């Protein structure tokens, strides 16, 4: 039965339906593997009984012919999603032992689709980080290692636990969230697929808020098809999120096609930046060839404000974070530390002890750029540049149907290797523009670098055109033939 864990979600679903194995056998295999993979530090909470209960319900319903789409599939859930009665801490000390009395809409949708939960997945604190090193639970260790080395590598972030869990086959799929690359960069580092849909496709209700105008949930899994399956279950209109799109959920899986005949592939010239390893650009060129082979015609496009996307993001995201995180005051939930100065002292002491360094840094930047006298110079200016970035993409999509770029400017780096905050922020240089424009974007594994570490290719689609992104992803997947898995050391 050990081969069960190597299967894709589509294979598990179909095998379960065909009676090759029971849902309980699937859940058992994954529960055991989760319990045996503590060295990775990917899970913050394990919920084997939850996975088993969903599996038993699936087994019972199997004969009925009325199975929900994810019956028999256990999933890992990023710790940013509220899960009823199960610790939801966003990787922060300030939410220690917080047990939501409600379920986030995305998790409720997955449960409605029949999925069970293997546990909660570790992440950068409040999703602020690109390496998982800011988690209050300590960093996730990537299952990948450089050839001939036992140096611990980061799985990327912030959805690093999700990426590591899928790569190590201790979850067939997982939820992630992406504010400025937090699904795509870890997917690239871990050699898996991950898609951030159009802003508004997945309800944000019950997802711990970081930067509300950017936060989007999405799936992470081994294959493009698995991402399509999961996204269909996760997405959908929700009245409880004022930015939720009131649109039907397309049949992304059914409409998968790697035939890109007649499609134009945009190659943005501004994404050829200095200091990116040659291997990354070589893989990018290979990706262009693969998509040409699938029928697409490459066209050079220009996204002139690309270079301003990161600084724009690092005004808008901290500003929204400083507002969102004002709720952690030691009154309604989470940590409380008594100060020596009444109510204000309690607030300040609680937040000083509850937040980690990166979160404090971003709250401070956000508070500064929103403060009297600086608001227009920083925040309004950034919102104007964001409008220009959005416009760049709108113009580009008059000339092309999908855009191809690298996902990240490097392969996974070692834990503790990147200490300068600014250098860390540069990880998301290729991912952030699509976030600022609210566009669907996906990372698909393209190959291994010289050290044996995965590299990802990044597809950006027009608003609401997840199908084009998935189809181009499938075309890459079929041609890249990426089958590498980390060698087990944990």
The span of 165-173, 185-193, 252-260, 434-442 binding other proteins (CB under 8 A) equals 434-442
Residues 330, 96: Cα–Cα separation, whole Å: 11
48 is an interface residue for other proteins by CB under 8 A: no
Can you list the alpha helix ranges (DSSP code H) found in 208-337? Answer: 224-234, 278-293, 309-324
State in angstroms the smallest separation of the CB of 359 from other proteins.
10
Query: Is the distance from CB of 351 to CB of 331 less than 8 angstroms?
Result: no
Residues 369, 375: Cα–Cα separation, whole Å: 5
Residue 375 in tokens: 């608001």
371 is an interface residue for other proteins by CB under 8 A: yes
Task: Give 252 or 347: the residue with its C-beta nearer to other proteins.
Answer: 347
State in angstroms the smallest separation of the CB of 336 from other proteins.
4
Interface mask (CB under 8 A) for other proteins, residues 209-248, using x and -?
A: ----xx------------------------x--xx-xx--
Binding footprint of other proteins, residue count (CB under 8 A): 68
437 is an interface residue for other proteins by CB under 8 A: yes
The distance from CA 404 to its chain's CA centroid, rounded to whole angstroms, is 18
386 is an interface residue for other proteins by CB under 8 A: yes
Per residue, the 3-state secondary structure of 100-118, as one string, reads CCCCCHHHHHHHHCCCEEE
The span of 56-64, 252-260, 375-383, 476-484 binding other proteins (CB under 8 A) equals 375-383
φ/ψ of 239, rounded to 5, equals -60, -25
Residue 235 in tokens: 């997405």
The span of 22-30, 45-53, 170-178, 309-317 binding other proteins (CB under 8 A) equals 309-317
Task: Give 51 or 436: the residue with its C-beta nearer to other proteins.
Answer: 436
Residues 464, 274: Cα–Cα separation, whole Å: 32
373 is an interface residue for other proteins by CB under 8 A: no
Residues 267, 401: Cα–Cα separation, whole Å: 11
Residues 90-119 that bind other proteins (CB under 8 A): 98-101
Q: Among the options 92, 159, 182, 258, which is catalytic?
A: 182
Q: Which contacts qualify for 247-250: CB closer than 8 Å, 24 or more apart? A: 247/464, 249/201, 250/466, 250/467
Whether 182 sits among the annotated catalytic residues: the reply is yes
Whether 147 sits among the annotated catalytic residues: the reply is no
Residues 190-209 that bind other proteins (CB under 8 A): 198-200
State in angstroms the smallest separation of the CB of 325 from other proteins.
9
Residue 163 in tokens: 């990426």
Question: Cα Rg for the chain, rounded, in angstroms?
Answer: 21
Whether 162 sits among the annotated catalytic residues: the reply is no
Query: Is the distance from CB of 82 to CB of 102 less than 8 angstroms?
Result: yes
Task: Give 149 or 242: the residue with its C-beta nearer to other proteins.
Answer: 242
Strands 173-178 and 216-221: antiparallel
- What is each CA distance from 340 to 191, 345, 350, in whole angstroms? 50, 6, 11
Residues with catalytic annotation? 78, 158, 182
Chain residues binding other proteins by CB under 8 A are 98-101, 198-200, 213-214, 239, 242-243, 245-246, 305, 308, 311-312, 314-315, 322, 326, 329-336, 338-339, 342-349, 351-352, 355, 360-361, 363-365, 367-368, 371, 378, 380-388, 390, 421-422, 436-438, 463
């Amino acid at each position: 039965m050990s081969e069960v864990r190597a299967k894709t979600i589509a294979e598990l679903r179909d095998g379960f339906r065909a009676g090759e194995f029971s849902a309980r056998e699937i859940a058992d295999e994954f529960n055991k593997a989760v319990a045996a993979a503590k060295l990775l530090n990917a899970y913050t909470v394990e919920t084997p009984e939850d996975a088993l209960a969903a599996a038993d319900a699936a087994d019972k319903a199997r004969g009925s012919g009325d199975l929900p789409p994810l019956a028999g599939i256990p999933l890992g859930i990023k710790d940013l999603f509220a899960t009823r009665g199960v610790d939801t801490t966003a990787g922060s000390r300030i939410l220690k032992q917080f047990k939501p009395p409600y379920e986030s809409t995305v998790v409720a949708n997955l449960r409605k689709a029949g999925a069970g939960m293997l546990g909660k997945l570790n992440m950068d604190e409040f999703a602020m980080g690109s390496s998982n090193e800011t988690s209050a639970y300590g960093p996730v260790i990537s299952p990948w290692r450089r050839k001939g080395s036992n140096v611990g590598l980061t799985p990327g972030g912030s959805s690093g636990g999700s990426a590591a869990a899928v790569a190590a086959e201790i979850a067939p799929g997982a939820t992630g969230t992406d504010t400025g690359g937090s699904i795509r960069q870890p997917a690239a580092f871990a050699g898996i697929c991950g898609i951030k849909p159009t802003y508004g496709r997945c309800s944000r209700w019950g997802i711990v808020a970081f930067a509300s105008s950017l936060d989007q949930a999405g799936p992470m899994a081994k294959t493009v098809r698995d991402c399509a399956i999961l996204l269909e279950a996760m997405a959908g209109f929700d009245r409880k999120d004022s930015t939720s799109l009131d649109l039907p959920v397309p049949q992304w899986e059914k409409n998968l096609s790697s035939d890109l005949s007649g499609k134009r592939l945009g190659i943005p010239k501004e994404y050829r930046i200095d200091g990116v390893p040659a291997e990354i650009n070589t893989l990018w060129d290979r990706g262009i060839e693969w998509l040409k082979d699938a029928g697409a015609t490459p066209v050079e496009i220009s996204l002139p404000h690309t270079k301003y996307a990161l600084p724009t993001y690092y005004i808008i995201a901290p500003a929204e974070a400083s507002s969102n995180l004002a709720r952690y005051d030691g009154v309604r939930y989470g940590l409380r530390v008594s100060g020596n100065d009444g109510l204000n002292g309690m607030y300040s002491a609680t937040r000083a002890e509850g937040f980690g360094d990166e979160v404090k840094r971003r709250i401070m930047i956000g508070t500064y750029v929103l403060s009297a006298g600086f608001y227009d110079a920083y925040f309004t200016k950034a919102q104007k540049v964001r409008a220009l970035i959005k416009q760049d993409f709108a113009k580009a999509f008059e000339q092309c149907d999908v855009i191809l770029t690298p996902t990240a400017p490097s392969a996974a780096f070692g834990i503790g290797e990147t200490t300068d905050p600014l250098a860390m922020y540069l990880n998301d240089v290729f991912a952030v523009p699509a976030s600022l424009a609210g566009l669907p974007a996906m990372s698909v594994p393209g190959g291994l670098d010289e050290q044996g570490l995965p590299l990802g290719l990044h597809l950006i689609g027009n608003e609401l055109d997840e199908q084009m992104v998935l189809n181009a992803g499938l075309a890459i997947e079929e041609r890249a033939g990426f089958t590498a898995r980390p060698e087990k050391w944990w």
